Amino acid sequence: MPIETIRGEPFNIRFDGAEDAPVLMLSNSLGTDLHMWDPQIPEWTKQFRVLRYDSRGHGKSTAPDQPYSLAELADDAIGIMDHFGLDKVHWCGVSMGGMVGQWLATHAPRRLHRVVLANTSARMGPPDLWNGRIRNVRANGMGPLVQPTLERWFSPGFRERDGKTVEAVSAMLTTTPPLGYAGCCAAIRDMDQREAISAIVLPVLVIVGALDPATPPAVGQQIADSIHGAELVTLDAAHLSNLEQPEAFGRAVLDFLNT
């Protein structure tokens, strides 16, 4: 699909699956793009029309040089839904995409059916960490961030046995617009949804990675404990669990959506 203009800004958006199927909307992590979902598409499109997009600041989407907010990232998702006439969707987001999912489930629940929040957090402090990362990427580009990020995102064993996937993610990180990355870092820095998510009444699945140093299992457990009725699934993976355990992740999401 060509670049779509959403509320005056360009977004890279892709649909897969039958046009009459229920829509499952996917939101990528910080530093990746819509291709992070490639392993799940063949199975998920058997039941769903999958809508994925490059988040603001990422891939081929708009990347203005300014701090973004989580509300702005969520409004982008709503703008995409509105553009295609989608009243409600299922939602699945990893890391930053899960943060956007929390915001939507709290502030725009009528737009969502069921919600998957994977390898994410309601609060990602301290601010100094994000301020340092913003300064670094603005001064030096994405290059210095790539290797440390890959080491957080994938377990050592996975990095050894699946170099192809690691290299694909390395390429996503390397080509992420530095100013867009910095803008999203500001959104994460300023986010605190710990109290707000207790108001969520939608069906929610929280997925955590047992080996995840970025959003450890206890962080996902806190989200699940805060949302009445939320389910929790733990996978043998680090931060990008949909890539480290693609089959198990895909099954967990389908089982939840078909409940």
Distance of alpha carbon 133 from alpha carbon 178, whole angstroms: 11
Alpha carbons 232 and 130: distance in angstroms, whole number:
28
Domains defined along the chain, listed by start: 4-257 (3.40.50.1820)
Q: Give the residue from 245, 13, 259 showing the smallest Cα distance to 118.
A: 245
Q: What are the structure tokens assigned to 121, written together?
A: 């957090």
**Whole-number pLDDT of residue 241:** 98
Strands 9-11 and 4-6: antiparallel
pLDDT in tens, the chain (259 residues): 579 999 999 999 999 999 999 999 999 999 999 999 999 999 999 999 999 999 999 999 999 999 999 999 999 999 999 999 999 999 999 999 999 999 999 999 999 999 999 999 999 989 999 999 999 999 999 999 999 999 999 999 999 999 999 999 999 999 999 999 999 999 999 999 999 999 999 999 999 999 999 999 999 999 999 999 999 999 999 999 999 999 999 999 999 999 8
pLDDT (tens digit, 9 = 90+) per residue, 56-90?
A: 999 999 999 999 999 999 999 999 999 999 999 99
> How far is 236 from 242, CA to CA, in rounded Å?
11
Q: Angle at the Cα of 39 (from 45 to 93), degrees rounded to 5? A: 80
Total Cβ atoms within 10 A of residue 235 = 21
Torsion, CA 173, CA 182, CA 71, CA 191, rounded to 10: 100
CA distance 49 to 1: 14
Amino acid, res. 144 = P
Could you read off the pLDDT of 87-131 as tens digits, one per residue?
A: 999 999 999 999 999 999 999 999 999 999 999 999 998 999 999
**pTM metric for this prediction:** 0.98
Q: How far apart are CA 172 and CA 175, in angstroms?
A: 5
Is 74 strand, coil or helix? Answer: helix
One-letter amino acid for residue 259 of the chain = T
